[in-house]
Chains A and B, each alone.
Chain A
């Protein structure tokens, strides 16, 4: 137990604020976060977040690895949306190399990215309800996430850590029953959203606990660099998929849901609306899924197909040049930045290449980290219970926060 710190001359009886350490082991932090709070009764007078408990050195590790070897590490950033990270990273490197993806690959990436977004938002909404005490809703959404993970497992081989993309394509094509699986999910999932909304949207306790809590203004959100659902919950219709379309997002018909208030309730509303928009995108994509290869075979960065490796000398050499230690493709020297819309916001990758097979420096723009900077502003003056509500509405993932 740490000692209480005297507050600057508050009250005639000499009342003091109490220092309370929330985390790094605490059920509300969903990861290893540490908040050093000064509480006045139940009111949070001040809060100092400490980060770094889950620091893994991803960016430094990248300097000792080829680009494809970094993809499994990108899973571990935001482990609730591994596929979005895979896609974002692969896209950054592809832009650097100037690789043109095949049409099938692009559409598959869109479908999987949106499925992953649904998985992330669903669990985020569930946790938001759970932290307010409505435990059942979390389990309802958790079941849906498991169903999505079944699809991910069939497609990628992994459930949580997918390592799905390769530079220039995908690790493999989707299984034959992929389309029916996704169709089934897309048809079924709206009923779950309706169920969750029925439980929460008119629930007086939920509304009281969320409306006006953890409010952040539009200007503050922009000046903190917040992105994703948190920014859209303040009324700014910024979405990388619209602002700087990639993977052909400009061809899909979808809306960018916003909510004007910037409080916990707005974030919930925006996330629920985004679930429906993601379903819309998936519906359109699955209708027009092109056939053909999933990797850009003509480029020098993807592995040639196995048949030609065994029968063709050129292909064999190509294969070895890519996989042998000390070899691999070498991008030109220079600096590139590329960003995608991950479920938590703009996930950016800044890569400095010196022309060797490893990046000279790799920097990730993690949405969680930047969104978290506004956290003290949101919780100061609120109560301890509000802090929990705000925390879960931010959907801070420690792996991405600390990298």
Chain B
């Protein structure tokens, strides 16, 4: 049931996100945005999906057929899978059984997350390589280089979180963030580990290929980057993947740094259904705020240049995260 629920949420959040992105960007840009199909234009993503389904599926000359077909699926799969490790809410007692609102429990969750995010770049790199297009290939190359620069910083930022929480189990990490200081400052990792929070946040932008790090697609110079040659449903899978990855990343940031489903002043040990839904609501409220921020950033900032991005990754974020680990270690011994 939880599996279906999580998959359903990921699939449903994507059209909503697309709609939100278009409305928010219209708001930033003094426009109206889609408002014709359905109430407030809410059915616009549906109309887009139908349009994309009926588009001609173009197979350009000279493509590597196997990889060309594999790439969109490979891009979407990890993006949708990462949501499985997230604890979405407090466990609920249903008919004597404790129902965990998490698909994949246990302490390997974090490793699975790291493995899957590492995998997601293959879809983009293969797509760029297989398309037999120079712009696409450059996009794929950029994606690979970008992931190399950011995966490490991301992992190192996580290490310091693990050090604070003394665990890699996401449930323990969430439990560690309950409670407050002075009654109003929540004991979130964002407060305990502000540097790791910022690094992870920046890396999440790079991971999801969102502006200012959307170099693999970069419509200004690479036209569409890795998906230049894709059309129809294959294109929409790439599209879905981007938004699903954005959602997963925001879930991960919420869980790791913003206290997950917990909230200040929360009673502990409650397993009621209503309480479960309340924590679920708290979790999604945090995620939505993050998503809003993701979208706002995209429509505000210019994008980095390729070498500047590598510079930022290797020369700023990685040393900073290493220093942060050292500082955390020292602080833990004091």
B301–A133 CB distance below 8 A: yes
**Does chain B have a CB within 8 A of A129?**
yes
Q: How far is the CB of A27 from chain B (nearest CB, A)?
A: 6
The answer to whether A130 and B62 touch (CB under 8 A), given A143-B30, A384-B138, is no
**Does chain B have a CB within 8 A of A28?**
yes
A133–B302 CB distance below 8 A: yes
Specify which of A26, A139, A203, A208 is in contact with B308 (CB 8 Å cutoff).
A208
What is the interface of chain B mostly: helix, strand, loop, or mixed?
loop
B300–A136 CB distance below 8 A: yes
Q: Across the interface, which residues of A come within 8 angstroms of B300, CB to CB? A: 134, 136, 199
A135–B299 CB distance below 8 A: yes
A277 to B26 Cα, complex, angstroms:
31
Interface 9-residue window, one of A106-114, A330-338, A385-393 = A385-393
Proximity bits, A181-207, B CB within 8 Å = 1, else 0 = 000000000000000000110010110
A179 to B301 Cα, complex, angstroms:
37
Q: How far is the CB of B128 from chain A (nearest CB, A)?
A: 13
A387–B299 CB distance below 8 A: no
Of all chain A residues, which has the CB nearest B25?
A: A136
Q: Across the interface, which residues of A come within 8 angstroms of B307, CB to CB? A: 42, 383
Q: Across the interface, which residues of A come within 8 angstroms of B29, CB to CB? A: 135-136, 139-140
B302–A129 CB distance below 8 A: yes
**Does chain A have a CB within 8 A of B219?**
yes
Specify which of B28, B62, B220, B306 is in contact with A42 (CB 8 Å cutoff).
B306
Which of A18, A20, A133, A143 gathers most chain B CB within 10 Å?
Answer: A133
B30–A140 CB distance below 8 A: yes
Specify which of B28, B132, B219, B305 is in contact with A1 (CB 8 Å cutoff).
B132
Q: Across the interface, which residues of B come within 8 angstroms of A131, CB to CB? A: 220-221
List CB contacts (< 8 Å) of A1-51 with chain B: 1, 18, 20, 22, 26-28, 42
Of all chain A residues, which has the CB nearest B222?
A: A384
B301–A134 CB distance below 8 A: yes
The answer to whether A386 and B305 touch (CB under 8 A), given A28-B221, A130-B220, is yes
A20 to B135 Cα, complex, angstroms:
8
**Does chain B have a CB within 8 A of A132?**
yes
Of all chain B residues, which has the CB nearest A2?
A: B134
For chain A, which range describes its interface: under 10, 10 to 19, 20 to 34, or 35 or more residues?
A: 20 to 34
Specify which of A18, A130, A203, A385 is in contact with B305 (CB 8 Å cutoff).
A385
Of all chain B residues, which has the CB nearest A135?
A: B299
B221–A133 CB distance below 8 A: no
Q: How far is the CB of B167 from chain A (nearest CB, A)?
A: 36
B221–A387 CB distance below 8 A: yes
B28–A205 CB distance below 8 A: no
Q: How far is the CB of A267 from chain B (nearest CB, A)?
A: 15
Proximity bits, B275-305, A CB within 8 Å = 1, else 0 = 0000000000000000000000001111111
Specify which of A140, A203, A383, A386 is in contact with B302 (CB 8 Å cutoff).
A203
The answer to whether A205 and B138 touch (CB under 8 A), given A26-B223, A27-B223, A388-B221, is no
A20–B134 CB distance below 8 A: yes
B302–A132 CB distance below 8 A: yes
**Does chain B have a CB within 8 A of A241?**
no
B305–A209 CB distance below 8 A: yes
List CB contacts (< 8 Å) of B185-225 with chain A: 211-212, 214, 218-223
A135 to B305 Cα, complex, angstroms:
16
List CB contacts (< 8 Å) of A101-152 with chain B: 129-136, 139-140, 143
Q: Across the interface, which residues of A come within 8 angstroms of B303, CB to CB? A: 132-133, 205, 209
Q: How far is the CB of B303 from chain A (nearest CB, A)?
A: 3
Of all chain B residues, which has the CB nearest A138?
A: B29
Specify which of A20, A133, A199 is in contact with B211 (CB 8 Å cutoff).
A133
Of all chain A residues, which has the CB nearest B214?
A: A133
**Does chain A have a CB within 8 A of B133?**
yes
**Does chain A have a CB within 8 A of B31?**
yes
Q: Across the interface, which residues of A come within 8 angstroms of B134, CB to CB? A: 1, 18, 20
Q: Across the interface, which residues of B come within 8 angstroms of A26, CB to CB? A: 223
A1–B62 CB distance below 8 A: yes
Which of B28, B135, B220 gathers most chain A CB within 10 Å?
Answer: B220
B302–A209 CB distance below 8 A: yes
Of all chain B residues, which has the CB nearest A143?
A: B30
List CB contacts (< 8 Å) of B3-51 with chain A: 25, 28-31
Q: Across the interface, which residues of A come within 8 angstroms of B132, CB to CB? A: 1
List CB contacts (< 8 Å) of A191-234 with chain B: 199-200, 203, 205-206, 208-209
B304–A205 CB distance below 8 A: yes
A303 to B301 Cα, complex, angstroms:
54
A136 to B308 Cα, complex, angstroms:
22
Q: Across the interface, which residues of B come within 8 angstroms of A139, CB to CB? A: 29-31
Q: Across the interface, which residues of A come within 8 angstroms of B135, CB to CB? A: 20
A206 to B301 Cα, complex, angstroms:
8
A143 to B31 Cα, complex, angstroms:
10
Complex A-B: 18 CB contacts under 8 Å: A1-B62, A42-B138, A42-B306, A132-B302, A133-B212, A133-B214, A133-B303, A135-B29, A136-B29, A143-B30, A205-B303, A205-B308, A208-B304, A209-B304, A209-B305, A384-B138, A384-B221, A387-B221
Besides A18-B134, A28-B221, A386-B305, 8 other A-B contacts (C-beta < 8 A): A1-B132, A129-B302, A133-B220, A209-B303, A209-B304, A383-B305, A385-B221, A388-B220
